[in-house]
Amino acid sequence: GEKIPLDGEVVSGGSQVDNSALTGESKPVSVKIGDDVLAGAIATTGALTIKVSKLFTDSSIAKVMELVEDATARKAKTEKFITSFARYYTPVVVLLALGIATIPPVIFEASFETWIYRALVMLVISCPCALVVSIPLGYFAGIGKASKQGILVKGSNFLDALTNVKSVVFDKTGTLTEGVFKVNAIKGANGWSDEELLELAAAAESQSTHPIALSIQKAYEARGGKLDESKISEHKAYPGLGVSALYKDQYILVGNNLFVEDSGIESAINESNSTTAHVVVNGVYVGALEISDQLKPDVSVAIAGLRQQGIQYISMLTGDATSAASRVARELGLDSYHANLLPEDKVEKFENIINQRTDNSNIVFVGDGINDAPVLARADVGVAMGGLGSDAAIETADVVLMTDSPMKLVESISIAKQTRRIVWQNIFLAFSVKAVFLSLGAIGLATMWEAVFADVGTALIAVANSSRILTTI
C-alpha cells in the first residue's frame, strides 16, 4: 500500500505495482525479483525489498516533476500574443478613459460627474483579466490533462505546435515495435554449426545492451551456454551497424548487411523479412541469425487514429534491414519508409522530408534511442518513448510518452486541439462581451453593475470553460 520512494531493483518479494501516477496506465503491473521499479509507484499486493539504483534527483518521479514545472516557462504563441497585447492595451485604455472623463466636460461643458462615472465604467469593463488569466490557465489545464494521461508536454508552445501537425515520422524498433527481440533461426555457413555460430555471436554481443544483442545472449543462455568472459576482449560498438570483439583469439564481427559489406565480405545468406544479424570470423562469413520483433498491439489503431486527426503523411526511418522495414511499412500502411540508416543518415532523410513539405504545417518525429536524439532535436515536435527510451532521447524530446504506446501520440494531438479550441473560445468570448459593454458604457447605457459583470463575470466564465479541458478530450 505504500509508495516506492526511489528507483531500484527488487531483491526479494513480489507484488502488483500501480504505475498510474507515472504513466497514466491504470492496470497494475506484476514485479518479481530482478525487475526494476520506479519511484512514485505503489506496491499494492505484496511487500518488496528494493535495492536503490538512483538518487532521488535522478529518479523518474523527480524528472516528471521537473518537466511539468519547466513546462510553465515555455509559452505558446497565443499566450505570448495576449501578454504583449495586454502590455499595450492597458495604457491605451487608461488614456482613453482619461479622455472620456475630461474632454466632454471641458469642450461641451457637460457634467464632470457623469463623464467621470462613464470613464470608470469603461475602465472596469476593459480590464484584460479574462484574457490574461484564462489563456495561460487553458494551456496549464491542457498540460495537466496530458500528464494525467501519461503524456509529458515540456511547454505550452509544444502543445500548440501539435495542433498544426500534418506529418509524422516514426523510428521502428521500440517505437512501432515492442523492442523485444527473439532469435527465430540460426543459419550456419562454410562448415560452421549452429551452436558454434550462436556462441560466437553471443561472445561478440556480451558487452552490448542493444535489444538485438540481449536477444542473442538470451538465446545462447537458453541452450545452456556459458561464456568464458576472460577470453573476450577488444569489444567495440558501431552505432547503426553492429559490434566487433576478440574471442578465443578469433576476431568476430556481428552486424547488419551493410556492416558486412563495408568489411569487404559478401554475405551468403539473403536477408528475410526478419532482422538479420550476420556473423564474420577472421574475415570469413560463417552464417547469420534471424531475429524477429513484434509490432506493438495498438500501433495499427494508432496509425488509423492519426489519419483521423488529419495527419496526411506517415513515414518511418530505421537502421534495420530493408526487408524487415518493408514488412512493417506494408502491414501498417505507411506512406514511405527508409531503411539501413545510420544516425547521421536519419537526420539527412528527415531534412529531405522537411524540405518536401509545401505548407507551414509541423512535422513530428517519434523515437526512443540514443541515435534518435539528433532527429528529435531537429523536428518541430520531438516525441520520445519514456519507458524504453534512452535518457538522451527523453532529454531532447519536447513530448514524452510514459507508457511507450503510439496511441498516446493520438491522445496528445487530440488534447492539444481541444486546448486550442477552448483557448480561442475564451478569446472570442472576452472580446465580444467587452466590445458590447464598452460601446454601451461610452454612450452611458452601462452602469457599474454591467461593468463588473463584463469584467469579473467574463473572467469566471472563461476560467470555467478552461477547466473543461481536465474532464474532456
Catalytically active residues, by annotation: 171
Q: Is 81 exposed, middle or buried (0-12, 13-18, 19+ CB in 10 A)?
A: middle
Distance of alpha carbon 351 from alpha carbon 366, whole angstroms = 15
Distance of alpha carbon 290 from alpha carbon 296, whole angstroms = 19
Distance of alpha carbon 330 from alpha carbon 167, whole angstroms = 18
Torsion 326-255-368-356 (CA) sign? negative
Run of H or E including 295: strand 284-295
What cell does 457 get?
463575470
What cell does 65 get?
516533476
Run of H or E including 125: helix 112-126
Beta strands in 299-368 (DSSP E): 313-317, 336-338, 362-367
What cell does 6 get?
526511489
| Cβ-Cβ contacts under 8 Å for 385 (sequence gap 6 or more) | 174, 175, 366, 367, 368, 393, 400, 401, 404
Torsion angle defined by CA atoms of residues 336, 340, 344 and 349, in that order, rounded to the nearest 10 degrees:
-20
Q: Which amino acid is at 375?
A: V
* Residue 188, phi then psi, degrees to nearest 5: -75, 155
Q: Which amino acid is at 429?
A: L
Run of H or E including 178: strand 177-188
What cell does 195 get?
551452436
For cell 513530448, the residue is: 399
- Give the residue among 133, 159, 316 at the shortest CA–CA distance from 151: 159
Helix (H, G, I), strand (E, B) or coil at 313: strand
Q: Is 467 exposed, middle or buried (0-12, 13-18, 19+ CB in 10 A)?
A: middle
Task: Confirm if 132 and 86 have CB atoms less than 8 A apart.
Answer: yes
- Give the residue among 196, 216, 162, 147 at the shortest CA–CA distance from 469: 147
β-bridge partners, 275: 291
Distance of alpha carbon 123 from alpha carbon 104, whole angstroms = 17
Task: Confirm if 153 and 140 have CB atoms less than 8 A apart.
Answer: no
